C-alpha cells in the first residue's frame, strides 16, 4: 500500500509517499518532487534497532500499567506537597496539532498547572512576538511559498535553506541577497552577501531603512494608508546612517544603499527572516526592525511582495497555536484574556476559574526545575532539552534534581537517559494527525505502517494518565480526528481559526490555510491583502534601537561563536544520528575557523580544538574556512556530550519572546593538549 504523507522533519513539510518504509518524493507545492538528504533517508528510522518499544522504569522494562500507575502516583504526591505548579510539561514543535492541543488541555485540566511550554520557544518565538506587534497576527509566511517564484529580489536574513530545507531553494530563482556572518551554501548562490558581526543585525536593518528613506525609496502612500508609527521609528533610524552602521556591523555603507535600491526598484520583492536574526536577547526588536524596512517599502499585504518568517520545526507554526505555549489557549488566544478563558473552558466542560494563568517560558521553566519554588516533576513530549537548550549542562543538572522525570519518545536520547520513566510512543509514519506548515497550510499526515507491539500514541498516554488523575475518559479522546474536531471548536473565533477544517476536506486535497472560519470558507492563503490584524486595520512601525549582544568579547573570550544546523542532521540529532548515511556524512561536531584565527591559536585543519565560553566548554574538529570572519567561529548544535555546542550558549532572554541568545556568545579557541 502506498500512502501520501509529508516529511517528518522541517516546516517545509515536503510531500512524499511511503510504501512500507520506502520513501519517494511526490509533487507538492513546497517541494515540487524534491527531497533533501534527511527526507530521502527518513524511512531508515522506521526500522531502527534503537526503537523504544517497552516502557522503562528506572531503566528496567515494565508493563504499561506499572509505568503509568507509578507516574500518576508520583504526580499526585508532588502536587500534594508542592501545589499544582509542582508539575510541569515541556512539549515539542514536531508534535501534531492534535497532540499539541491535547497536551495543553491536559496541563490545564488534568494537572491544572501553569507550568507548560515547548521547545518552539527556542525557534519561532521572537518572530511570533514581532509579527503580533507589527501585524496583529503571527503566521510565519502570510502567503504561499510559491508566491516567491515570481520575486525579482528576496532579502534573506539569518537563514541557510540550501542546507536546512534544500527544496525551498527552487523558489528563490533570482535576485537573492543573503545576510549571514558565514558564507553558507545559501550565500554562495546569492547575488549579494552581507556579513555582519553576530548580534548586529538590528543596526544593519536600521541602516538600510535609513537609506530607503533618505534616498527617496520609501512608499509614502502605502505608509500613510496602511501603517502607523513611522515617525517614532524614524527618530531612531535617523541616527543610524550607513557609515555609522558600517563601523558597528562591518557591512559597507555602499552595500547597505545597494540593498535599499534593489528592494525599492524590484517589481516583486520579499524580506524573509529566520533563526539567525531571531535567536538573540534582542530578537523581537531585530525582527521588528526588518519588518519596519518591509513596511517602508510597502511590501506586506501586497500581491507579489511581502514579509515572512521561515518556520523551523515541522509543526513550529501549529504547535504554538493551540495551547502548549505557556501564555496561549487554542486558536492563538491569550490565556489571561477573560473572554478566551470562558470560551475555551466551555468547550472543555470546566470552570474558567479552574484554568491556571500563564507560567514560565521554556528556559525559565527548565532553570526552575528542582528548586524550592519550582516544579519538582516534568513530563517531556517530543523534546530533547539536554542537547537543545542553552547552557545545556546546567539544564541536565536541573533535570537530575527532579523527583519525577517522564519522557515520551520513540527513540532513546540524552534526555531519556536521565528519565525515571520512558514511555515508548508512535512515530510519524504510524499515526494520523495534522501539521501546519511554514505558510499556514494545514496538512494531513496519514499512517503508513502499524506501530510495533507495545507502543502507544501520545493521545493514548494522555488519556490513561488523565483517567488515573480522576478525569473522565471522554474528556481526553484518543482518536486524532475526534481531537481535531474539538480543536476546531476550541479555536473558533480565535486568530488561528480552524473551525471550518475537517479531515474530510483535507482528505479531498483542499489547500486550506488558516483562518478557515466556516465549512464553506476556502481558507486564507494570503493574509493582509485588505487589512492587518489590528483593530484599525493598519500595520505598526515599532521603534527599536540597536543594543548589541548580551555579552561582549574581552581578552579571555575574544571570539564570537554562532551556532546552526547542517544538511545531514536535524535539531538535537536524536533521530538523524541513528541513520548511518547521515552519521557517515557528519559524524561529529566541528568548528569553522578563519585561517588567521586558527593560526593564532596554534591550530591546523583537522585538529581537535577546545571551545570555551563563560558557561562551559566543548571539543570540536577544526575546519579552516577562508570565508569566515576572523572574529567569528561556527559550531553545529546537533551533537551531545563533549560535542554539545549548547554547553556554550547564553541563556540571556529576549524580554518579549523569552527567546535565549543562541546565536552569539563570547568564546576562546585553543588546542586540547
| CB atoms closer than 10 angstroms to residue 87 | 27
Residues 375, 79: Cα–Cα separation, whole Å: 9
User: Where do we find the cell 528510522?
Assistant: 45
What are the cell numbers at 468?
488515573
**Span 10-19, average pLDDT:** 95
CA–CA separation, 148 and 160 (whole Å): 16
Taking only the tens place, the pLDDT of each residue in 647-662 is: 999 999 999 999 999 9
CA distance 177 to 195: 11
pLDDT at 212 over 90: yes
- Residue 20 has a pLDDT of 85
- Write down the CATH number for the domain with range 125-310: 3.40.228.10
Distance CA 358, CA 151 (A): 41
Q: Where are the domains of the chain?
A: 2-43, 51-116+315-443+450-471, 125-310, 559-671
Contact 442, 501 (CB under 8 A): yes
- Rounded CA separation 80/78 (Å): 5
At 312, phi and psi to the nearest 5?
Answer: -95, -65
Omega of the bond leading into 515 within 30 degrees of 0 (cis): yes
Class of CATH domain 2-43: mainly beta
* Res. 1 pLDDT band, cuts 50 70 90: confident
Cell of 49: 534497532
For residues 360-388, give the mean pLDDT: 97
Q: Given this model, what pLDDT does residue 373 score?
A: 94
pLDDT of 166 reads 96
CB contact set of 593 (below 8 Å; sequence gap of 6+): 601, 603, 609, 622, 623, 624, 625, 628, 633, 669
405 and 419 in contact (C-beta within 8 Å)? yes
Separation between Cα atoms, residue 345 and residue 330, nearest integer Å: 11
pLDDT in tens, 513-566: 999 999 999 999 999 999 999 999 999 999 999 999 999 999 999 999 999 999
- Average pLDDT on 433-452 reads 96
Strand partners, 609: 620, 671
Q: How far apart are CA 355 and CA 17, in angstroms?
A: 41
606 — alpha (psi -120 to 50), left (phi > 0) or beta? left
Q: Which CATH class is domain 559-671?
A: mainly beta
- pLDDT (tens digit, 9 = 90+) per residue, 131-184? 999 999 999 999 999 999 999 999 999 999 999 999 999 999 889 999 999 999
Is 51-116+315-443+450-471 in CATH node 3.40.50.740?
A: yes
**How many angstroms separate the Cα of 59 from the Cα of each of 363, 416, 563?**
27, 9, 33
Per-residue model confidence (pLDDT) at position 174 = 86
Long-range contacts of 127-130 (CB under 8 A, 24+ apart): 127/273, 127/278, 127/283, 127/287, 127/309, 128/320, 128/657, 129/284, 129/287, 129/654, 129/656, 129/657, 130/283, 130/284, 130/285, 130/287, 130/288, 130/291, 130/542, 130/657
Q: How far apart are CA 94 and CA 120, in angstroms?
A: 9
pLDDT digits (tens, 9 = 90+) for 596-649: 999 999 999 999 999 999 999 999 999 999 999 999 999 999 999 999 999 999
CA dihedral 11, 15, 20, 21 (to 10 degrees): -50
The predicted pLDDT at position 312 comes to: 84
Q: Assign residue 439 a region: left if phi > 0, alpha if psi is -120 to 50, beta otherwise?
A: alpha
Q: Specify the pTM.
A: 0.97
Query: What tens digit of pLDDT does each residue of 397-413 get?
Result: 999 999 999 999 999 99
Nearest to 558 by CA among 599, 606, 611, 602: 611
Q: Do domains 2-43 and 125-310 have the same CATH topology?
A: no
List residues bridging with 665 in a β-sheet: 561
Grid cell at residue 536: 484599525
pLDDT at 673 over 80: no
pLDDT band at 218 (very low <50, low <70, confident <90, very high): very high
Of 218, 279, 393, 217, which is closest to residue 653 (Cα–Cα)? Answer: 279
Average pLDDT, the chain: 97
Q: How many whole angstroms separate alpha carbon 320 and alpha carbon 331?
A: 9
Task: For the beta carbon of residue 646, count every other beta carbon within 10 angstroms.
Answer: 28
What is the DSSP code (8-state) at residue 515? P
Which pLDDT score is estimated for 663? 97
Q: Where residue 88 falls among pLDDT bands split at 50, 70, 90?
A: very high
Residues 499-521 have a mean pLDDT of 97
Amino acid at each position: 500500500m502506498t500512502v501520501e504523507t509529508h516529511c517528518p522533519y522541517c516546516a517545509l513539510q515536503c510531500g512524499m509517499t511511503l510504501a512500507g518504509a520506502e520513501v519517494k518524493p511526490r509533487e507538492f507545492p513546497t517541494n515540487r518532487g524534491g527531497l533533501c538528504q534527511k527526507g530521502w533517508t527518513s524511512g531508515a528510522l522506521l526500522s531502527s534497532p534503537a526503537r523504544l518499544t517497552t516502557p522503562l522504569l528506572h531503566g528496567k522494562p515494565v508493563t504499561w500499567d506499572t509505568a503509568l500507575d507509578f507516574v500518576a502516583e508520583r504526580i499526585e504526591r508532588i502536587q500534594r506537597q508542592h501545589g499544582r505548579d509542582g508539575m510541569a510539561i515541556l512539549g515539542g514543535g514536531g508534535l501534531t496539532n492534535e497532540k499539541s492541543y491535547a497536551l495543553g488541555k491536559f496541563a490545564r485540566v488534568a494537572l491544572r498547572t501553569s507550568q507548560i511550554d515547548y521547545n518552539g520557544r527556542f525557534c519561532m518565538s521572537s518572530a511570533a512576538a514581532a509579527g503580533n506587534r507589527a501585524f496583529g497576527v503571527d503566521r510565519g509566511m502570510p502567503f504561499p511559498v510559491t508566491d516567491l517564484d515570481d520575486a525579482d529580489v528576496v532579502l534573506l536574513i539569518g537563514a541557510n535553506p540550501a542546507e536546512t530545507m534544500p527544496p525551498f531553494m527552487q523558489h528563490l530563482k533570482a535576485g537573492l541577497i543573503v545576510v549571514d556572518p558565514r558564507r553558507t551554501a545559501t550565500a554562495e548562490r546569492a547575488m549579494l552577501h552581507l556579513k555582519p558581526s553576530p548580534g548586529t543585525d538590528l543596526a544593519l536593518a536600521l541602516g538600510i531603512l535609513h537609506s530607503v528613506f533618505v534616498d527617496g525609496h520609501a512608499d509614502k502612500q502605502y505608509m500613510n494608508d496602511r501603517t502607523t508609527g513611522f515617525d517614532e521609528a524614524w527618530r531612531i533610524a535617523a541616527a543610524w546612517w550607513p557609515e555609522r552602521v558600517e563601523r558597528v556591523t562591518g557591512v559597507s555603507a555602499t552595500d547597505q544603499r545597494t540593498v535599499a535600491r534593489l528592494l525599492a526598484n524590484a517589481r516583486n520583492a520579499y524580506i524573509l527572516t529566520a533563526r539567525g536574526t531571531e535567536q538573540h536577547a534582542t530578537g523581537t526588536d531585530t525582527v521588528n526592525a526588518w519588518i519596519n524596512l518591509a513596511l517602508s517599502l510597502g511590501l506586506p499585504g501586497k500581491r507579489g511582495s511581502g514579509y515572512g518568517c521561515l518556520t523551523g520545526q515541522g509543526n513550529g507554526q501549529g504547535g504554538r497555536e493551540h495551547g502548549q505555549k505557556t501564555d496561549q489557549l487554542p486558536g492563538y488566544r491569550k490565556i489571561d484574556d477573560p473572554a478566551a478563558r470562558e470560551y475555551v473552558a466551555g468547550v472543555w466542560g470546566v470552570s474558567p476559574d479552574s484554568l491556571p494563568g500563564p507560567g514560565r517560558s521554556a528556559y525559565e521553566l527548565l532553570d526552575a526545575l528542582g528548586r524550592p519554588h519550582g516544579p519538582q516533576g516534568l513530563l517531556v513530549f517530543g523534546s530533547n532539552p539536554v542537547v537543545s537548550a542553552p547552557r545545556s549542562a546546567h539544564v541536565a543538572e536541573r533535570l537530575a534534581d527532579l523527583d519525577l522525570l517522564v519522557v515520551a519518545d520513540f527513540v532513546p536520547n540524552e534526555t531519556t537517559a536521565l528519565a525515571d520513566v520512558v514511555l515508548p510512543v508512535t512515530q510519524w509514519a504510524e499515526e494520523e494527525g495534522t501539521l501546519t506548515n511554514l505558510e499556514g497550510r494545514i496538512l494531513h499526515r496519514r499512517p503508513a505502517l502499524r506501530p510495533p507491539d507495545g507502543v502507544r500514541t501520545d493521545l493514548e498516554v494522555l488519556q490513561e494518565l488523565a483517567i488515573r488523575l480522576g478525569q473522565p475518559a471522554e474528556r481526553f479522546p484518543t482518536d486524532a480526528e475526534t481531537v481535531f474536531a474539538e480543536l476546531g471548536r476550541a479555536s473558533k473565533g480565535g486568530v488561528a481559526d480552524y473551525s471550518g477544517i475537517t479531515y474530510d476536506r483535507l482528505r479531498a486535497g483542499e489547500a486550506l490555510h488558516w483562518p478557515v472560519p466556516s465549512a464553506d470558507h476556502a481558507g486564507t492563503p494570503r493574509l493582509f491583502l485588505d487589512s492587518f490584524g489590528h483593530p484599525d486595520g493598519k500595520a505598526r512601525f515599532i521603534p527599536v534601537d540597536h543594543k548589541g549582544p548580551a555579552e561582549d568579547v574581552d581578552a579571555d573570550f575574544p571570539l564570537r561563536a554562532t551556532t546552526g544546523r547542517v544538511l545531514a542532521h536535524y535539531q538535537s540529532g536524536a533521530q538523524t544520528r541513528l541513520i548511518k548515511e547521515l552519521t557517515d556524512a557528519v559524524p561529529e561536531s566541528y568548528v569553522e575557523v578563519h585561517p588567521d584565527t586558527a593560526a593564532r591559536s596554534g591550530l591546523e585543519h583537522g585538529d581537535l580544538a577546545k571551545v570555551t565560553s563563560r558557561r562551559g566548554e566543548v571539543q570540536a574538529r577544526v575546519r579552516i574556512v577562508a570565508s569566515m570572519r576572523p572574529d567569528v567561529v561556527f559550531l553545529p548544535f546537533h551533537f551531545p556530550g563533549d560535542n554539545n555546542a549548547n554547553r556554550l550558549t547564553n541563556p540571556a532572554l529576549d524580554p518579549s519572546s523569552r527567546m535565549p541568545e543562541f546565536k552569539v556568545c563570547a568564546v576562546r579557541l585553543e588546542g586540547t593538549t
